């Protein structure tokens, strides 16, 4: 029997005439600051109600408000979105939210805590298979209502300062630009770029050798490489890419923390025809 595809989970969006309880908490705690985005806003009820309260907020939803945001935001809220997504889709949302967040800004992910069993189930109104799962995030929990919901506060990795390790990849400087981030990896503009838009994709786990990373974390890095390529193509108009790793000092690794280089290439940036991976070692 084939597993149902996750195509109806947006049907869990609800019509309401009042603020959702997590958003009401964020508003009462004065955490909704500056320009705000409701990512995965469903029918947009929270957006409309917060606008009436004078907040500068816009909504985005893949199904109901599909026009993608073209700017970055001080605050982003993501309410009950992750609970209806498969793991890879969850990572995509985390990376999208990270990309849309201003440096120093904060995002709030709200996840349900009343789900007892993961998987597909028949929606009682729409009679379609909708997916629900339990979600736990490695971010700061600021509110937990047992058997109901939990709120996680997220800010870019270089603002978190949760690691005592003095490795510069475990504690990147705040003046560096985070391109995007997921639960287990982040992408940052290289401080010493070899081309415009040179990005490092870095696992959060402090491991020197990429091959020592668990398979799931390796996969998360390559999922992020795909996202970075998408961003660089759109924002930097890259004509091509070199993607690679330096593993151990003999191969040129200077920071003993695994990373993947995503180097945009542009027409005419190197004289002659020999400019690819095979030319890393002269002759």
Query: For residue range 113-147, what is the model confidence (pLDDT) as tens digits?
Result: 999 999 999 998 999 999 999 999 999 999 999 99
Q: Is residue 141 part of a domain?
A: yes
Residues 40 and 101 in one domain: yes
Note the pLDDT tens digit of each residue in 4-19. 789 999 999 988 889 9
Q: List the domain range (segments joined by +) for residue 67.
A: 9-155
Pick the last residue of a domain from 155, 172, 189.
155
Say if 55 falls within a structural domain.
yes
pLDDT of 94 over the 70 cut: yes
Q: What residues form DSSP beta bridges with 263?
A: 242
The β-bridge partners of 107 are 76, 154
Quote the number of domains for the chain: 2
Question: How much is the mean pLDDT over the chain?
Answer: 93
Which tens digit of pLDDT belongs to each residue from 51-93?
999 999 999 999 999 999 999 999 999 999 999 999 999 999 9
283 has pLDDT over 80: no
* pLDDT higher than threshold 70 for residue 272: no
Instruction: Report if residue 2 sits inside a domain.
Output: no
What residues contact 27, with CB distance under 8 A and at least 6 apart?
A: 19, 50, 53, 55
Residue 216 located in a structural domain: yes
Helix (H, G, I), strand (E, B) or coil at 71: coil
Let me know whether 208 and 117 are in one domain: no
Which is more confident, 272 or 191?
191
For 188-246, what is each residue's pLDDT tens digit?
A: 999 999 999 999 999 999 999 999 999 999 999 999 999 999 999 999 999 999 999 99
């Amino acid at each position: 029997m084939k597993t149902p595809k996750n195509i109806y989970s947006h049907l869990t969006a609800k019509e309401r005439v009042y603020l959702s309880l997590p958003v009401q908490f964020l508003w009462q705690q004065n955490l909704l600051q500056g320009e705000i985005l409701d990512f995965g806003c469903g029918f947009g009820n929270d957006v409309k109600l917060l606008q009436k309260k004078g907040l500068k907020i816009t909504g985005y939803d893949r199904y109901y408000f599909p026009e993608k945001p073209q700017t970055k935001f001080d605050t982003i809220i993501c309410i009950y979105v992750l609970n209806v997504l498969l793991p890879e889709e969850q990572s995509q949302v985390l990376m999208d939210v990270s990309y849309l967040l201003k440096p120093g800004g904060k995002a709030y992910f709200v996840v349900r805590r009343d789900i007892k069993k993961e998987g597909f189930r028949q929606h009682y109104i729409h009679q379609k298979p909708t997916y629900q799962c339990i979600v736990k995030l490695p971010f700061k929990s600021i509110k937990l209502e047992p058997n109901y919901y939990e709120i996680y506060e997220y800010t870019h990795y270089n603002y978190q300062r949760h690691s005592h390790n003095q490795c510069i990849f475990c504690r990147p400087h705040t003046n560096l630009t985070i391109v995007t981030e997921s639960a287990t990896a982040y992408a940052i503009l290289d401080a010493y770029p070899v081309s415009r838009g040179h990005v490092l994709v870095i696992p959060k786990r402090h491991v020197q050798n990429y091959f020592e990373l668990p398979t799931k974390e390796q996969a998360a890095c390559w999922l992020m490489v795909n996202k970075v390529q998408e961003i660089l193509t759109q924002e930097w108009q890259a004509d091509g890419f070199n993607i690679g790793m330096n593993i151990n000092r003999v191969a040129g690794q200077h920071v003993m923390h695994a990373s993947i280089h995503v180097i945009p290439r542009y027409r005419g940036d190197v004289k002659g025809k020999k400019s690819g991976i095979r030319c890393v070692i002269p002759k």
